[in-house]
Structure 1
Amino acid sequence: MKILDKYIIKSYMITFTTVFVILFFIFVLQGIWLFIAELAGKDLDFFTILKFLSFYAPTIVPMVLPLSVLLAAIMTFGSFAENYEFAAMKSSGISLQRAMKMLTITIGALSLVAFFFANNVIPDAQYKFINLRKTIVQQRPAMAIAEGQFNMIGASNIKVDKKSGKNGEKLEGVTMHVKNTSMGLGANTIIKAKRGLLTSDDDSNYLQLELFDGYYYEDIHPKNYEERKRMPFAKSSFKKYIINIDLTTLNQADLDSDGSITSEKMLTSSELLFTIDSLDINYKKDAISFAENIINRNEYVVTNKDIPLKDPIRSPKISKLTEKSKDLISIFSYSEKSQIVEIAKNNLTSIEYSIENSYLDLEYKSKNINLHWLAIYEKFVIAFSCLLMFFIGAPLGAIIRKGGLGLPIVFAMLIFITFHFINTFGRKLAQEDTISPFLGSAMSSIVLIPLAIFLTYRATNDIGIMVNFDWLTDPIKNIFNKLTHTKDNN
C-alpha cells in the first residue's frame, strides 16, 4: 500500500469515526425520547437503563452507518478538492479513480462487516431488548405504573398517589377506570381503593393487583332504551378485591412505526428462510382448504321430501323439466320457491362471510411472509447502501470542493432523506403485496444508482455538475449591494 493510499484511508476513517459517533449519539437520544414513557418515573437503576439502551442501540446502526459513510465521503473528498490536494494528485498522473481505489476496497470490507452485524448482532440485540422489557415488568411489576398519572394497561387506566416497598409494589390511593369493550361507551367501571399490592410470577404474563378498602362503581346498560335514560349504576364496597392485569400488550415485540422491532427482525437469514418455508407451506394448505370448503358448501341438500335436489338426475320433476324447459324454479309451488330462495340466500350469506374471513386471514399471512422476505433483503441492502453512499459522496465532494460541516451536511441530509423516504415507501408497498419484497427493499438503491454513476462520471472527467444558481443568487446579491451602498451614502 502506497503512502498516498494510507493518507486517504486515514483521512477518511478519522472523519468517518467522528461523524459516526456524533450521529450515533444523536439517534440514541432520539431512542430515549421514543421509550421515555418506559424509563421515566419507573425507579430504574442506572445499570438497568444502560442495558436497556445498549440493547436498543444496535437497531439504529442500519440508519446511522450509510449516513456516516455518505457525509464522511463528502467531507473528506471535498476537503481534498478545496485544499488543491486533488490538483496535486492529477498533476502527478493520479486520477480520481486511482485515488478512490484502496478506499473503495476499505468500504467494501465495511459493507461485509455491516452485513454480519445486521445478520447476527442486531437480531440478538433485539431479542435481548424485548426480553429485558419483559423481565423488568415481571421482576418490578410497579414499573408499569407511574405515580400521579394515569397509565393505560390493556383495557384499564390506573393511577396511584404513592408507591412504596422495595420494588414499588405497595400502592396508596388507587384509582382505576375499566372500559367495557363490548359497550364501547368509555369508562364503564370505576374502582377506588385506599391501598393496593402488586405481585407477579416470573413465568406469567399477568400482574395480580390486590386492592383493599375500596368502592366499586359500574354503569348498567339495560336493553330497554327508556331505562337507559335513567343512567342506572351499581355501587358496592369491598375489603379485598383481586384483579389480574394482562401484560401481553407490554411484552409485544411490535414497535414498527419507530423502533422497527418486530419478531422477524430477531432472526438471522438462515432462520428466516426456514421460517418462510414453514409459513409458505401453511399458507398453501389454508388456501387449498378454503377452496375445498367453498366447493363443499355448494353441494348442500335441501331437507324437504317434496324437493328432491340431492339426486337431480333421478328426480322426476327435474327430469321432466330438462326435457321441456331450462327454468328450474318454475316446476315448484309458491311455498317451495320461497323455501328454495331462502335457502339460497342463507347459503350465499354464509359463503360471503366465509370468503371475507378467509381472505383477511390469507392476506395477513401473505403480509407476514412478505415481512420475512423484507427482513432478509434488508440485511443485504444495509451492506450495499454503504457502497452506494460512498460512490455518491466521494465524487460529490470532489465536485462541490467544500469540506467541513457546512455545505456537505446539507447535501448529505438531502440525499439520505431521499434514500430513507424511498426505502420506507418501498417497504410499505411490499408489505401490502403491491410490489415484490425484493423490489420494495431495493427501490431506494435502484433510484439512487443512476445518481452515483452520474456523479462518478462527472467527477472522473472533471466536468462538474454544471448547475447554475446565478438566477437565484444574483437578485439577492443586488438587493444586498443596494442596501450597503445606501447605508454608505448616509
Structure 2
Amino acid sequence: MKILDRYILVSYLKTFFTVFIILMFIFVLQTIWLYIGELAGKDLDVEIILKFLLYFSPKLIPLVLPLSILLTSIMVFGSFAENYEFAAMKSSGISLQRAMRSLTFFILLLSGIAFFFANNVIPASEFKSINLRKNIAQLKPAMAISEGTFNDVGDFNIKVEDKTGENDQFLNDVIIHQKTARGGNLTVIKANRGELVGSTDSDVLSLILFDGNYYNDIPQNDPSRRANKPFAKSSFEKHTINIDISDFNDVDLDDENYKNSQNMLKISELTQSIDSFSTAYNQERRKFADVIYTRSGATQYNSNFFPNDSLPEVDNSILELYDTEEALQILNLSIGSVDALVSTANIKKQEFKTSTKQLNKFEIALHEKYVLAFACIILFFVGAPLGAIIRKGGMGLPMVIAILIFLTYHFIGIFAKNSAEDGTISPVLAAWLSTLIMLPLGVFFTYRATTDQGLLAFGNLIRPISKQLKKLALIRKEKK
C-alpha cells in the first residue's frame, strides 16, 4: 500500500470509529429512554440490564452504520479540501477517484460485513431481545397493567382508565373479566376506584376495589331458559381480589419460546416462509372463491334449468309470477343470503388484508438485508464527493448536511415501508426506494467533484437570463 493510500485510509478509519462510537452511544441512550418503563421497578440485576442493551444494540446498526459512513466521508474529504490536500494531489496528477481507491475497498469490505451482520447477528439479537422483554414484563404484573387496554394478569383480564400514585398503585375506572375453567368470561366486575397492595416478597397481589358492581351470568342447562339470559347483580363499597402471582415471579429470563417475528429470520428462512405464506394465501383465496360460488346457488342452474325452458313475459318483476306470501318469502330468503355473503366477504377481506400485510413485512425484511450493504456503498459515494465540494471539515457544517441527507434517506424508507405494508406500493420497491433515490445523487456529486464544479452551478442558471437582459437593454438603446 502506498503512503498516500495509507494516509487517507488511516485518517478515514480514525474518524469513522470515533463517529461510530459516539452515534452508537447516542442511540443506545435513546433505547434506554424508550424502554425505561419496562425496566423500572422490576428489581433487575445489572447483568440483566446490560444483557438487555447488548441484545438491542445490533438492531441499531442499520441506522448507525450508514449515518457513520456518510458523516465520516463528508468530514474527512471536506477536511482534505479545506486544507488544500486535494489541490496538492491534483497538482501531482492524482484524481478524486484515485484518492478514493483505498477507501472504496474498505467500504466494500464493510458492506460485506454489514450483510453478514444483517443476515446472522441481527436476527439472533432480535430473537434474544424480544424474548427477554416478554420475560421481564412478567416479573411484576402490577407494572404490566397498562392504561386503556385489557391486561392478562393471572385469572383476570383487567382494564383501567388511568393510574396515579407514586408507584401507580391507585387505579380509576376499573373493569375486570374473570376467567372460567372452561374458558370465557361469565363474571364482570366494575369499580370507580381501585388500589394495588402487595410486596416483592409475597406471591399474592391484592386488588382492593371501591364503589362498584358485580355481574355474574348464570349458565342454564335447559335450552328454553338460555334465551332469558339470567344473571346475578350486586353492588359493593369495598371488595378485595387476591391474585396469585407466584407464576409471574418465578420467571426464567433465559426462556426463548417466542419465535414469531420476521426480523428473527435469516434470508433462507425468510425465503421459505414467504413461499409457504404465498402458497397458503393463494389456496385460501381459491377456496373462498369456490365457497362463495357454491353458496350463491350458481351450481344449481345447470341442473334445474335448460335452454328450452321458457317463462312468460313479465312487465315489471319475476315476483309477479308468485302470490304475495311466496314473493315475500323469496325476498326474505334472498336478502338473508345476500347479507350472509356480504358479511362473510367482509370478514374474509379483513383476513386477507392481514395476511397480505404479514406477507409484505416478510418481503421487506428479506430485501432490507441486501439494502443495508448497498446503502453503505452508495452513501459513501454521496458523502466523499460532497465533502470535497463543500470544502469544510470538522463537526459543524458536515454534521448538518449529513443529518439532513440521512433524515431524508431514513424517512423516505419509513414512508415507503408503511405504504408497502398495506399494499399501496410493492414491498420490493419500498425496501430499495430510499437507496435508489440516493444513487443518482451520488453520481451527480461524484461528477461535479471530479470536474471541479461547485455544489450547484448557479452561473449556468443566471447566464441565459443575463444575456436576455443585455439584449433587451441594447434594443431599448437602439430605439432611443
TM-score range, shorter chain: 0.7 to 0.9
Which amino acid in the other structure matches residue 242 of structure 2? Y
Alignment of 1:178 with 2:174, yes or no, is yes
Q: Within 5 Å, which residues of 2 pair with 1:224-235?
A: 234-235=235-236
Which of residues 270, 282, 300 in structure 2 aligns to 1:272?
270
Q: What residue number does 1:51 align with?
A: 51
CA contact (8 A) 1:77 1:395 kept: yes
CA contact (8 A) 1:145 1:151 kept: no
In 2 relative to 1, CA 62–335 (structure 1 residues): closer, same or farther, beyond 3 Å?
same
User: Deviation at 1:47?
Assistant: 1.3
Which amino acid in the other structure matches residue 189 of structure 1? A
Alignment of 1:145 with 2:142, yes or no, is yes
Which of residues 156, 166, 172 in structure 1 aligns to 2:159?
156
Aligned residue pairs total 419
Which amino acid in the other structure matches residue 234 of structure 1? S
| Most deviating of 69-78 and 426-435 | 426-435
CA contact (8 A) 1:423 1:444 kept: yes
Deviations 1:378-421 (A, max 9, x none): 11111111111100000001011111001100110110011011
Q: What residue number does 1:398 align with?
A: 388
CA contact (8 A) 2:42 2:136 kept: no
Q: What residue number does 1:252 align with?
A: none
In 2 relative to 1, CA 356–151 (structure 1 residues): closer, same or farther, beyond 3 Å?
closer
| Most deviating of 39-48 and 402-411 | 39-48
User: Deviation at 1:446?
Assistant: 1.6
Q: What residue number does 1:66 align with?
A: 66
Alignment of 1:372 with 2:362, yes or no, is yes
Q: What residue number does 1:34 align with?
A: 34
Q: What residue number does 1:77 align with?
A: 77
In 2 relative to 1, CA 245–323 (structure 1 residues): closer, same or farther, beyond 3 Å?
farther
In the alignment, the residues of structure 2 paired with residue 311 and residue 234 of structure 1 have an alpha-carbon distance, to the nearest angstrom, of: 63
Deviations 1:261-286 (A, max 9, x none): 98100111111011111111110111
In 2 relative to 1, CA 160–76 (structure 1 residues): closer, same or farther, beyond 3 Å?
closer
Identity %: 42
In the alignment, the residues of structure 2 paired with residue 465 and residue 174 of structure 1 have an alpha-carbon distance, to the nearest angstrom, of: 60
Q: Within 5 Å, which residues of 2 pair with 1:407-418?
A: 407-418=397-408
| Partner SS for 1:41 | coil
Deviations 1:122-170 (A, max 9, x none): 11001111121233344xx22x4359x989745334979899xxxxxxx
Q: What residue number does 1:228 align with?
A: none
Output the TM-score relative to the length of structure 1: 0.76
Say what the alpha-carbon RMSD is for the aligned residues: 3.9
CA contact (8 A) 2:159 2:176 kept: no
User: Deviation at 1:313?
Assistant: 3.2
User: Deviation at 1:62?
Assistant: 0.4
Alignment of 1:10 with 2:6, yes or no, is no
In the alignment, the residues of structure 1 paired with residue 296 and residue 94 of structure 2 have an alpha-carbon distance, to the nearest angstrom, of: 78
Which of residues 285, 288, 297 in structure 2 aligns to 1:287?
285
In 2 relative to 1, CA 161–324 (structure 1 residues): closer, same or farther, beyond 3 Å?
closer
In the alignment, the residues of structure 2 paired with residue 382 and residue 215 of structure 1 have an alpha-carbon distance, to the nearest angstrom, of: 53
Alignment of 1:322 with 2:325, yes or no, is no
Alignment of 1:188 with 2:204, yes or no, is no
In 2 relative to 1, CA 362–246 (structure 1 residues): closer, same or farther, beyond 3 Å?
farther
Q: What residue number does 2:427 align with?
A: 437
In 2 relative to 1, CA 15–365 (structure 1 residues): closer, same or farther, beyond 3 Å?
same
Q: What residue number does 1:219 align with?
A: 213
| Partner SS for 1:189 | strand
Output the TM-score relative to the length of structure 2: 0.77
CA contact (8 A) 1:70 1:392 kept: yes
Q: Within 5 Å, which residues of 2 pair with 1:229-248?
A: 234-235=235-236, 241-242=242-243
In 2 relative to 1, CA 301–3 (structure 1 residues): closer, same or farther, beyond 3 Å?
closer
Q: What residue number does 2:305 align with?
A: 313
Deviations 1:450-478 (A, max 9, x none): 11111000001111224569xxxxxxxxx
In 2 relative to 1, CA 110–329 (structure 1 residues): closer, same or farther, beyond 3 Å?
same
User: Deviation at 1:448?
Assistant: 1.6
CA contact (8 A) 2:197 2:206 kept: yes
CA contact (8 A) 1:161 1:173 kept: yes
Deviations 1:167-225 (A, max 9, x none): xxxxx98868532689xxx992367578547899xxxxxxx85538x556533699xxx
Which of residues 254, 260, 263 in structure 1 aligns to 2:261?
263
User: Deviation at 1:371?
Assistant: 0.4
In 2 relative to 1, CA 47–443 (structure 1 residues): closer, same or farther, beyond 3 Å?
same
CA contact (8 A) 2:142 2:196 kept: no
Which amino acid in the other structure matches residue 114 of structure 1? A
| Partner SS for 2:311 | helix
User: Deviation at 1:23?
Assistant: 0.5
Alignment of 1:20 with 2:59, yes or no, is no
| Partner SS for 1:28 | helix
Which amino acid in the other structure matches residue 25 of structure 2? F
In the alignment, the residues of structure 2 paired with residue 310 and residue 347 of structure 1 have an alpha-carbon distance, to the nearest angstrom, of: 20
Alignment of 1:424 with 2:414, yes or no, is yes
In the alignment, the residues of structure 2 paired with residue 19 and residue 243 of structure 1 have an alpha-carbon distance, to the nearest angstrom, of: 50
Which amino acid in the other structure matches residue 211 of structure 1? S
Alignment of 1:450 with 2:448, yes or no, is no
In 2 relative to 1, CA 234–262 (structure 1 residues): closer, same or farther, beyond 3 Å?
same
In the alignment, the residues of structure 1 paired with residue 34 and residue 260 of structure 2 have an alpha-carbon distance, to the nearest angstrom, of: 16
CA contact (8 A) 1:216 1:236 kept: yes
Q: What residue number does 1:87 align with?
A: 87
CA contact (8 A) 2:191 2:209 kept: no
In the alignment, the residues of structure 1 paired with residue 425 and residue 240 of structure 2 have an alpha-carbon distance, to the nearest angstrom, of: 60
CA contact (8 A) 2:169 2:197 kept: yes
